[in-house]
Structure 1
Amino acid sequence: MYGHYDGLIFDMDGTILDTEPTHRKAWQTVLARYGLTFDERTVIGLNGSPSWRIAEVIIASHQSDLDPVALAQEKTTALKAMLFDTVRPLPLIEVVKAWKGKRPMAVGTGSEHAMAEALLQHLGLRDCFDAIVGADDVTRHKPEPETFLRCAELLKVEPARCVVFEDADFGIQAAKAAGMDFVDVRLL
């Protein structure tokens, strides 16, 4: 089905790994320390964004003077404490397994590079991917195309010859801006 592509690029959170509920729980835990909450629909709408960008939106909605980078780091620390016990592969991992060794594959994620490496290693999936591009590997995050363009570069595949698997609007916008086809996994 994807044989006419030379490279396959996968978002991670919510696409190949079931991490979204734990991300939300980590936000709830950290924000409760400051008496803050978040609108779940707003946060879901920011899926694919780095944590500091989500923190900026949450802070702005409360007119708080918290530092978004520090708040995002607190959330990442809380996430790390929870995630390894709860993370599970999603059904799309079967596509990854089917194409392993047949096409170069990358992960392009809004998570930090080290977190992506650790989660994939933890689940025994790291060797399926030729490259990982995390939020800290780029300066212009989804919906900008830099994450996916960097994946294509690392795979040594022309962007137009890649397909991106995504579960978030920002990621789909990034794939389009990179000149790549995409699969909206929410529709599968």
Structure 2
Amino acid sequence: MYDRYQGLIFDMDGTLLDTEAGHRQAWDEVLAKYGMKLDLEAVVALNGSPSWKVAQFIIDSYQVDMDPYKLAQEKFDIVGDIVLAMVKPLPIVEIVKAYKGKRPMAIGTGSMHGFADRLLQHVGLRDCFDAIVGADDVQNHKPAPDTFLRCAELIKVNPGSCVVFEDAPFGLQAAKAAGMDAVDVRNL
């Protein structure tokens, strides 16, 4: 079905892997220390963003004087083990398996590179991907095209010959800005 594309790029959280419950639990634990709660409906628009952007949104919502990078680091410090215990591959993994070895593939995620690598190893998918581009690999995050453009560069495929699989509005915008076709996996 995707044979016309020379490269396939996948978002990770919410697209390839169901990590939402683990991320939510980590945020709940960190924010509880400060008497705050994560408003899921309010932050859903930030899906695909790095944790420090979510932290900044929370800080702004509560109008508190905190460092968003420090708050995001606190979440990062505990999220790994929580997510590893809960992560499940999503149905889109079948596309990855179908194209493994047939097309270059990359992960373009708002998660940190090392965390993405660790999760993909854990679920047995790391060897399916030729490249990972995480939040710490680019300066401008989704909805900017940088993540997906870097993926195309690493897998050595012209951006216009790539398709991106995404579940978040920011990611879909980023794919379009990169000149790539995009598949909204929420509609599959």
Report the TM-score when normalising by structure 1.
0.99
What CA deviation, in whole Å up to 9, does each residue of 1:59-83 have, x standing for no partner? 0000011110010011111211311
* Equivalent residue number for residue 137 of structure 2: 137
Do 2:21 and 2:83's aligned partners in 1 also have CA atoms closer than 8 Å? Answer: no
The answer to whether residue 15 in structure 2 is matched with residue 15 in structure 1 is: yes
Cα deviation for residue 38 of structure 1 reads 2.3
How far does the alpha carbon of each residue in 1:73-129 deviate from its partner, in whole angstroms, 9 at most, with x for none?
111112113111111101100000000000000000000000000000111110000
Secondary structure at 2:25's aligned position in 1?
helix
CA distance in 2, matches of 1:158, 1:42: 36
Q: CA deviation at 1:20?
A: 1.1
Q: Which residue is 1:59 aligned to?
A: 59
Counterpart of 1:86 in structure 2 is: 86
Quick check: 1:26 aligned with 2:26?
yes
- 2:163 is paired with a residue of what secondary structure? strand
| 2:102 paired residue number | 102
After TM superposition, the structure 1 stretch with the greater mean CA deviation from structure 2, 143-152 or 73-82, is 73-82
Q: CA RMSD in A?
A: 0.6
Instruction: Output the amino acid matched with 2:118.
Output: A
The equivalent of 1:116 in structure 2 is 116
| SS at structure 1 position matched to 2:89 | coil
Cα deviation for residue 34 of structure 1 reads 0.2
Moved over 4 A (4+): none
SS at the partner of 2:43? Answer: helix
2:172 partner letter: I
| Matched residue SS, 1:101 | coil
**In 1, Cα distance between the equivalents of 2:95 and 2:73?**
32
CA–CA distance in structure 2, aligned partners of residues 24 and 173 of structure 1: 24
State the partner residue of 2:126. Answer: 126
1:159 aligns with 2:162: no
| Number of equivalences | 188
CA distance in 1 between counterparts of 2:44 and 2:139 reads 22
In structure 1, runs of 5+ residues without a counterpart are none
Task: Tell me by how many angstroms 1:45 deviates.
Answer: 1.1
Instruction: Tell me, yes or no, if the aligned pair for 2:50 and 2:111 is still in contact at 8 Å.
Output: yes
CA distance in 2, matches of 1:59, 1:112: 21
Q: Deviations over 1:134-170 (max 9, x none)?
A: 0000000000000000000001000000000000000
